[in-house]
């Protein structure tokens, strides 16, 4: 096993190796493979193979600069997606815990916690008081 490892290490010299994008491709390939078996879809199977081949191609590639750049682009993109997801989750939790009312006078949006019964709401903008059920 250590002999294999040594050979592999020698083989990998000057090659790019695994990274975040590679991991993503590998997981995508695994998931697509699972779904394709379940759905018996040949094109999902093909897509899985493409991800796997692409992952291997990148790992054994000697064009390290190019692969590094690809990974940078991927990480930026995944960061942006994670941000969008976080924002959605925050919005959802706000909807569950708070009620948004508009002031009848100035249309100012006011956030009120849910489940407190009838409450008097004070508008901080125009100082109007109005009663709503939270």
**How far, in Å, CA of 131 to CA of 134, rounded?**
9
Least distance in angstroms from the C-beta of 99 to Zn ion: 16
Q: Which range binds Zn ion by CB under 5 A, 30-38, 39-47, 50-58, 96-104?
A: 96-104
* Relative orientation angle of helices 64-97 and 20-39, to the nearest 10 degrees: 70
Count the residues in the chain: 134
When asked if residue 105 is in the footprint of Zn ion (CB under 5 A), the reply is yes
Closer residue to Zn ion, CB minimum distance, 21 or 103: 103
| Member of 7, 125, 132, 133 binding Zn ion (CB under 5 A) | 125
Residue of 2, 61, 57, 55 lying closest to 32 (CA atoms): 55
Closer residue to Zn ion, CB minimum distance, 115 or 124: 124
Q: Which range binds Zn ion by CB under 5 A, 32-40, 49-57, 87-95, 97-105?
A: 97-105
**How far, in Å, CA of 42 to CA of 74, rounded?**
27
When asked if residue 126 is in the footprint of Zn ion (CB under 5 A), the reply is yes
Residues contacting 106, CB < 8 A, separation 6+: 123, 125, 126, 128
Closer residue to Zn ion, CB minimum distance, 20 or 107: 107
């Amino acid at each position: 096993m250590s002999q294999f490892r040594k050979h592999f290490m020698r083989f990998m010299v000057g090659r790019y190796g695994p990274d975040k994008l590679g991991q993503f491709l590998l997981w995508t390939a695994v998931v697509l493979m699972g779904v394709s078996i379940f759905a018996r879809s040949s094109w999902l199977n093909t897509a899985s193979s493409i991800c796997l081949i692409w992952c291997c191609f990148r790992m054994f590639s000697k064009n390290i600069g190019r692969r590094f750049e690809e990974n940078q682009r991927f990480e930026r993109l995944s960061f942006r997606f994670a941000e969008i997801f976080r924002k959605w989750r925050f919005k959802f939790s706000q909807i569950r815990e708070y009620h948004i009312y508009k002031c009848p006078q100035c249309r100012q949006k006011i956030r009120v916690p849910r489940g407190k019964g009838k409450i008097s709401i004070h508008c901080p903008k125009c100082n109007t008081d109005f009663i709503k059920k939270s």
